[in-house]
Amino acid sequence: MFLDYYNFEPLLAGIHAALCGVMPEWAALTLEGLAVGVAIMLMYAVLAVVLIYMERKVCAAFQCRIGPNRVGGKGGLLQVPADVLKILTKEIISLNRADRFLYNLAPFLVILASILTFSCLPWNKGAEILHMNIGIFFVLAASSIGVLGILLAGWSSNSKYTLIGAVRSGAMIISYEVSIGISVLTMVVLCGAMDIQTIVAGQADGWNIFKGHIPAVAAFVVYLIAGNAEANRGPFDLAEAEQELTAGYHTEYSGMHFGFFYLAEYLNLFITAGIAATLFLGGWMPLHVAGLDGFNAVMDYIPGFVWFLGKTFVIVFLLMWIRWTYPRLRIDQVLTLEWKYLMPTSLVILLLMTVCKVCGLTF
Amino acid sequence: MKRDDVIRMAGAEVCAGNAQVISIPAGELRRTAEGLRHDRDVPMDYLRDIVGMDWGEEGLGAVYFMESSATGGRVALKVAVTDRERPLLPTMSDLWKTALVKEREVFDFFGIRFTGHPDMRRLFLREDWKGWPLRKDYDMDSNPLRLDNETNADTTTEYRLLPDGTLAGTAHPVFGENDFVINIGPQHPSTHGALRMRVALDGETVTKVDPILGYIHRGIEKMNESLTYPQTLGMTDRLDYLSAHQSRHALCMCIERAAGIEVPERAVYIRAVMDELQRIDSHLIFYSCLVLDMGAMTPFFYGFREREMILDIFEETTGGRLIQHYNVIGGVQADIRPDFCRKVREFTAHMRRVIRDYHDIFTGNVIADTRLKGVGLLSLEDAVSLGCTGATGRASGWANDVRKRHPYSVYDRVDFKQVTRGEGDSFARYLVRMDEILESCHIIDQLIDNIPGGDFRAKTKPVIKLPEGIHTAEVETSRGEFAVIIESRGDKVPYRMHFRSTGLPLVHAMDTVCRGWKIADLIAIGASLDFVIPDIDR
């Protein structure tokens, strides 16, 4: 069977069996859980470093600059690790008249939402971390916790800038979740499954964006716009809007508390792109063209996680391109765009997709 | 009422100096001003400036510089009141909106109260400042350095003169009780300097803007009163640093005209080229800051890339990049570098080419369009009344370019177009400046090949003294009409030197322009008005 060269399942099953051989199963499961947890954290941190470095280089390229080029050799490779070390050593300032508990809780809620969603990404065949039959639904639900953190951060800081930032963010993210939900639903209709691995496996004979043709492409565009807004990135970065609100909802945070917001922002970008890659571009699934068996076999030699990361980073680049090109929208324009254009459009797309599916017009 | 009618008035006399100021009795001021403002043929609808003065024996008072936006005809009135304890003048704020802020400036420095002015607070100094610093009898030690926080009063006072001669005050609240007031500044990414605006919000909608100025006030006008004329030149570059050449040009021109110094033709040309390069420099920063304030960071670097070329050209000839100190009385500091002309030619050609990129990335952009078009409307009437000169006024349809109305230097000999638009919105203000970049290139191209030979600096006496009287000169800087007003008593130091700030009317206009728009618009409108803080505070 194709696809099996890089299947992680036998390897993981082997490790599990070996561990059970030397210890009781509950101990083996606990140990595995811990190992996977550490692995997620590590991957999360490493990816954040990679993404920040990428953003710096990409935006430098757009802005006719070089970007970081001093720290750590020619490409400035150690610039981001140096910055991470610096932020780790910085003092976490406690505010005088802030709501201390909520103020300290908020960054953890944001990072929790981000890590939960991150764990659902299909890295490779047999390498999913959180696997459940309503996986995509879980992603939508878990990502909504993030906005709670932002709202709490803005509210508890007891500052007018943060409050305005938080209220903007709340209004915007909750609005755009509607569009995201509907465009995800469109793809669920196409796949007939909510389980992420099933969705990916269903694209073995062609990615969804080809299988669902017109409605799928439209849903992809809607998803990218709404996903950009969900990730709080330009031109939808109103919650931060440094030119208006200095730093929006996280104005009053310092040190690693600020670092968590920063980290979550970049990982949310990655997650948005990763879900887009999963739903529309086949996740870890190599490019297959029905009928061309030789071609498909060659493609299969490229490991699934390379495919997944490749697709995700292409979308990340696309989102960065948008961010570094457009000016920021205004809050009423953002909401107008969502409620008057994007949401009705996504409903029409959903209808179209359902009709296509019922009439057998999809591939 | 016309200027001639004012001169014929009982008690009126024309003062010495090239400003042709007409001195009138204080009791006649209000009637005269109304007559001039509402003249049927040529209304003096543009109040250029109100300059407070302390004439010592003659009393305290003010000089009102007015102009007709239609013809460019000018009148200047001088009034003095002898009561130093309780100097009172009638307000002009119902005739010209710009008087609202100009009268506060006079009050701040001279303690003259304007009866009927609705907002008689200090403008630049802290509210608990003791004394009136620009009066000649001000004790320089009366305000030692304070380390306590400044508080802002919640109310402001309107003074009225009762029939029995006593002064009555009515308190007006600055903000309503239920206003949500946020501070934009004094340290804020988008105020382009230490400016503070208290903004009342209804949700995200701006209901009032109250600028609080003076965070970088350096007392330049006071300092100048103890400096000789060549020494005063050092201050002008530090006013509007993006119009350094032009401001200094105005001051040099004022002194040269008053002292009768002939400037060599070569220097005149060099000054004009430098002025236009400076204008392009400033408009490039305007573009960069506008896009940055709207959240687009990439075009920001475009503007700075080209500005760097101008700064390199400046540096080679003048030795300075931001603050150049190039104009001196009678000419310029040093001759231009041998390859100056070549580099300037290359730059204008390059600028014409790359400005298309500027438009490509920003002008047609759908987000930029929705953020700027129809936003922050400033009507022609308001623009004139508020004294919003420069590109801001021209975007509202007011042809106010000093280079056209009162040509100086070479501007009556070169061909260029005064860019005006009628919309009066942020987008029009943006486009006017972008078009002015090309016009400036056009002016430079005409001058750069024809710089005459000869001296670059006239010989002047070692000690420069100006004849008695009030002298003025004005230029079009990058952001409007900049005027120098010197009152001389025949000494080697000015008795009083005042600069017409280009930015003060603009920042004052923020309240009018921003009301009803969102916070994000406030930032974009602020950028599109294009004020520079050191010029406001002086």
Residue-level pLDDT, tens digit, chain A, 363 residues: 445 667 777 777 888 788 888 888 888 888 888 888 898 888 888 888 899 899 889 988 888 888 888 887 778 888 888 888 888 898 888 888 878 888 888 889 988 888 888 888 888 777 777 788 888 888 888 888 888 888 888 888 888 888 888 888 888 888 888 899 999 989 888 888 888 888 888 887 778 887 878 888 999 999 999 888 888 887 888 777 777 788 788 888 888 888 888 888 888 889 989 999 988 888 787 877 777 777 777 777 778 888 889 999 999 999 888 888 888 888 888 888 889 999 999 999 999 888 888 887 777
Hunting for tokens 């996280």 — which residue is that?
Answer: A250
Q: What is the pLDDT of residue A1?
A: 43
Q: Is B240 on the interface with A (CB under 8 A)?
A: no
Answer yes or no: is pLDDT of B107 > 50: yes
CB contact under 8 A, A63 and B520: no
Cα B235 to chain centroid distance, Å, stands at 15
Pairing type for strands B167-173 and B180-184 reads unpaired
Residue B131: half-sphere exposure toward Cβ, Cα within 13 Å: 12
CA distance B371 to chain A (A): 7
Mean pLDDT value across residues B450-470: 86
Distances (CA, A) of A78 to A48, A60, A198, B114: 14, 17, 39, 63
Q: What is the pLDDT of residue B330?
A: 86
Mean pLDDT value across residues B417-424: 88
CB contact under 8 A, A326 and B362: no
Q: Is B11 on the interface with A (CB under 8 A)?
A: no
Q: Output phi, psi for A67, to 5 deg.
A: 90, -170
- Select the residue from A66, A233, A243 to test the B interface by mutation, using most B Cβ atoms within 10 A: A243
Q: Is B44 on the interface with A (CB under 8 A)?
A: no
CB-based contact B235:B255 (threshold 8 Å): no
CB contact under 8 A, B189 and A234: no
Nearest one of B116, B76, B103, B98 to B381, comparing CA atoms: B98
- Select the residue from B179, B301, B358 to test the A interface by mutation, using most A Cβ atoms within 10 A: B301
- What confidence category does residue B282 fall into, taking pLDDT thresholds of 50, 70 and 90? very high
Tens digits of per-residue pLDDT, B68-88? 888 888 888 889 888 888 888
What is the spatial distance between Cα B324 and Cα A251, in angstroms, rounded to a whole number? 38
ipTM of predicted assembly, 2 dp: 0.81
Pairing type for strands B74-81 and B21-23 reads parallel
Mean pLDDT value across residues B361-377: 87
Greatest alpha-carbon pair distance for chain B in Å reads 72
Mean pLDDT value across residues B129-133: 87
pTM of the prediction? 0.87
CB contact under 8 A, B204 and A59: no
Other Cβ atoms closer than 10 A to B431: 19
Q: What is the pLDDT of residue A4?
A: 65
Q: Which two tokens stand for residue B451?
A: 């710089």
CB contact under 8 A, A325 and B302: no
Size of interface A-B (CB pairs under 8 A): 83
What mean pLDDT is reported for chain B? Answer: 87
Tens digits of per-residue pLDDT, B473-519? 999 998 889 999 998 888 888 999 999 988 899 999 999 998 889 88
CB contact under 8 A, B189 and A246: yes
| Cis omega (within 30 of 0) for bond into A24 | no
Q: Is A335 on the interface with B (CB under 8 A)?
A: no
Q: What is the pLDDT of residue B432?
A: 93
Nearest to B297 among A63, A331, A333 (CB): A63
Dihedral angle, C-alpha B420, B423, B425, B428, nearest 10 °: -40
Nearest one of B380, B402, B375, B417 to B527, comparing CA atoms: B375
CA distance A343 to chain B (A): 19
CB contact under 8 A, B367 and A329: yes
CB contact under 8 A, A333 and B188: no
Q: What is the pLDDT of residue A3?
A: 55
Chain A residues in contact with B188 by the CB 8 A cut-off are 246
| Helix (H), strand (E) at residue B499 | strand B496-500
What is the spatial distance between Cα A296 and Cα A301, in angstroms, rounded to a whole number? 9
Find, in chain B, the residue whose alpha carbon is nearest to that of A337. Answer: B367
The DSSP code sequence of B431-487 is: HHHHHHHHHHHHHHHHHHTT---S-SB----SS--PPSEEEEEEEEETTEEEEEEEE
Q: What is the pLDDT of residue A169?
A: 85
What is the spatial distance between Cα A176 and Cα B68, in angstroms, rounded to a whole number? 54
CB contact under 8 A, B520 and A244: yes
What is the spatial distance between Cα A238 and Cα A334, in angstroms, rounded to a whole number? 9
The region that residue B86 occupies, defined by phi over 0 for left and psi between -120 and 50 for alpha, beta otherwise, is: beta
Chain A residues in contact with B292 by the CB 8 A cut-off are 243
Residue B251: half-sphere exposure toward Cβ, Cα within 13 Å: 30
- Select the residue from B294, B358, B372 to test the A interface by mutation, using most A Cβ atoms within 10 A: B294
CA distance A351 to chain B (A): 28
Q: Is B309 on the interface with A (CB under 8 A)?
A: no
Beta bridge partners of B209: B199
- What confidence category does residue B443 fall into, taking pLDDT thresholds of 50, 70 and 90? very high
Q: Is A61 on the interface with B (CB under 8 A)?
A: no
Q: Is B190 on the interface with A (CB under 8 A)?
A: yes
Nearest to B294 among A161, A325, A328 (CB): A328
Cα B279 to chain centroid distance, Å, stands at 15
Nearest one of B384, B449, B380, B447 to B416, comparing CA atoms: B447
The region that residue B165 occupies, defined by phi over 0 for left and psi between -120 and 50 for alpha, beta otherwise, is: left
Distances (CA, A) of B83 to B55, B61, B116: 12, 10, 19
- Select the residue from A232, A233, A330 to test the B interface by mutation, using most B Cβ atoms within 10 A: A330
Find, in chain A, the residue whose alpha carbon is nearest to that of B204. Answer: A164
CA distance B211 to chain A (A): 16
Nearest one of B36, B29, B34, B38 to B11, comparing CA atoms: B29
| Helix (H), strand (E) at residue B54 | strand B46-54
- Select the residue from A169, A326, A340 to test the B interface by mutation, using most B Cβ atoms within 10 A: A326
CB contact under 8 A, A161 and B182: yes
